[in-house]
């Protein structure tokens, strides 16, 4: 029943041309050290204690709690509970690298009202630790993830960024997710965060990329554990071939909120004002430099296939 309510809310939000998704940064602090992100250099991060008024102003279908690393906030269960108690229907997700996650913390978040727990994972094994700058991370996650259902956390998604050097890892990652009883969602690498171009898929790897996308789609049909829509996946090769993708709906289909309640049309753009003055954006933004899943999925055509994916995915 909840899934059908989500689909109805999705249709309503799309028809009213409101943002489907709010990416809500709850902190800019992070204890990882990824080379494609500068959040680990953050020195201060002003924040709100409660985000109900912010979210109410925008009234999306979904809120994704992001960072930084959200689990650095000790009051995160209260943040979630306040949102859950206030809204009739709001799908609440959270993205974490998982190093600070325990069964006890996961249960507390779930009991507070979290709907989806997303864990970032671009590789299997020690390569994952190297990327995050967190020794022992993969071993920790490989022991924790299969046990999350024991405490009632039954909607876990691995967030995987498609990059030049992890194409060979992706099929195995989907199979491992299936073995763990969790799902996978894909996004596409961009250098927008700090200008690091080394992870963009190179021209000589385009055939490998296309083959990988086809394998993802085949495994999606086989295991039914790939969240990403066929639409989103079909555009990934074009994005990497061109190095850009026109027609961004940032600020319209999705929007970013900073920890202290300011708005950005997307995570990589400047602040446009405070959330208290939110007005629906009418123009497309000029930026063409990403094919993030928050962009691609929120502006996916509202076809029968997409609605079926939402119901069955």
More confident residue, 102 or 265: 102
**Is residue 261 within 8 Å of residue 56, measured between CB atoms?**
no
Predicted confidence band of residue 83 (pLDDT cuts 50, 70, 90)? very high
Q: Is the pLDDT of residue 313 over 80?
A: no
Predicted confidence band of residue 103 (pLDDT cuts 50, 70, 90)? very high
Encode the chain in three state secondary structure: CHHHHHHHHHHHHHHCCCCCEEEEECCCCCCCCCCCCCHHHCCCCCCCCCCHHHHHHHCCCEEEEECCCHHHCCCHHHHHHHHHHHCCCCEEEEEECCCCCCHHHHHHHHHHCCCEEEEECCCCCHHHHHHHCCCCHHHHHHHHHHHHHHHCCCCEEEEEEECCCCCCCHHHHHHHHHHHCCEEEEEECCCCCCCCCCCCCCHHHHHHHHHHHHHHHHHHHHHCCECCCHHHHHHHHHHHHHCCCCCCCECCCEEEECCCCEEECCCCCCEEEEHHHCCCCCCCCCCCCCCCHHHHHHCCCCCHHHHHHHHHC
Q: Is the pLDDT of residue 94 over 60?
A: yes
Share of the chain above pLDDT 70, in %: 93
The fold of the 2-312 domain, in CATH, is TIM Barrel (3.20.20)
For residue 312, the model assigns a pLDDT of 57
In our burial notation (b when 16+ CB lie closer than 10 A, e otherwise), range 285-309 reads eebeebbbbbbbbbbbeeeeebeeb
Residue 267 to residue 42: CA distance in whole angstroms: 15
For residue 297, the model assigns a pLDDT of 85
For residue 283, the model assigns a pLDDT of 73
For residue 309, the model assigns a pLDDT of 61
The overall average pLDDT reported for the chain is 91
Which one of 152-156, 193-197, 268-272 scores highest in mean pLDDT?
Answer: 152-156
What is the pLDDT averaged over residues 227-251?
92
The pTM score is 0.92
Predicted confidence band of residue 113 (pLDDT cuts 50, 70, 90)? very high
- Give Cα separations from 124 to 98, 190, 284, 290, 297 (angstroms): 14, 21, 37, 25, 25
Domain ranges of the chain: 2-312
Q: What is the pLDDT of residues 288-303, one digit of tens each?
A: 889 888 888 877 666 6
Share of the chain above pLDDT 90, in %: 69
Predicted confidence band of residue 306 (pLDDT cuts 50, 70, 90)? low
Residue 101 to residue 144: CA distance in whole angstroms: 8
What is the pLDDT averaged over residues 77-90?
94
For residue 308, the model assigns a pLDDT of 58
Q: Is the pLDDT of residue 81 over 80?
A: yes
For residue 39, the model assigns a pLDDT of 85
Residue 170 to residue 162: CA distance in whole angstroms: 8
For residue 8, the model assigns a pLDDT of 74
The token pair at 109 is 């978040």
* Choice among 28-32, 89-93, 217-221, 309-313 with the minimum mean pLDDT: 309-313
Q: What is the pLDDT of residues 157-205, one digit of tens each?
A: 999 999 999 999 999 999 999 999 999 999 999 988 878 899 999 999 9
Residue 66 to residue 21: CA distance in whole angstroms: 12
Q: Is the pLDDT of residue 134 over 90?
A: yes
């Amino acid at each position: 029943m909840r899934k059908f309510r989500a689909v109805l809310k999705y249709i309503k939000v799309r028809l009213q041309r409101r943002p489907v998704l709010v990416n809500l940064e709850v902190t800019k602090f992070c204890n990882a050290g990824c080379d494609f992100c500068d959040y680990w250099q953050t020195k201060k991060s002003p924040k709100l204690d409660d985000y109900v008024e912010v979210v109410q102003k925008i009234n999306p279908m979904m809120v994704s709690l992001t960072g930084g690393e959200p689990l650095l906030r000790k009051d995160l269960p209260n943040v979630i509970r306040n949102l859950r108690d206030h809204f009739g229907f709001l799908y609440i997700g959270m993205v974490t690298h998982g190093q600070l996650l325990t069964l006890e913390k996961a249960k507390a978040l779930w009991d507070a009202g979290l709907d989806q727990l997303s864990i970032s994972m671009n590789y299997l094994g020690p390569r994952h630790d190297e990327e995050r700058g967190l020794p022992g991370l993969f071993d920790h996650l490989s022991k924790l993830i299969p046990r999350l259902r024991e405490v009632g956390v039954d909607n876990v998604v691995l967030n995987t960024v498609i990059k030049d050097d992890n194409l060979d890892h992706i099929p195995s990652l989907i199979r491992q997710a299936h073995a763990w009883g969790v799902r996978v969602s894909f996004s596409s690498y961009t250098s927008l965060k700090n200008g690091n171009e080394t992870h963009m898929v190179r021209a000589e790897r385009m055939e490998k990329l296309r083959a990988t996308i086809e394998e993802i789609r085949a495994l999606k049909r086989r295991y039914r554990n790939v969240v990403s829509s066929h639409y989103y996946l079909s555009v990934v090769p074009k994005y990497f071939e061109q190095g850009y993708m026109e027609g961004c709906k940032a600020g319209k289909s999705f929007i970013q909120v900073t920890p202290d309640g300011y708005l950005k049309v997307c995570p990589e753009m400047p602040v446009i004002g405070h959330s208290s003055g939110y007005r629906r954006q009418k123009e497309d933004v000029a930026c063409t430099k990403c094919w993030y899943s928050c962009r691609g999925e929120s502006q996916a055509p509202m076809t029968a296939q997409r609605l079926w994916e939402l119901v069955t995915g």
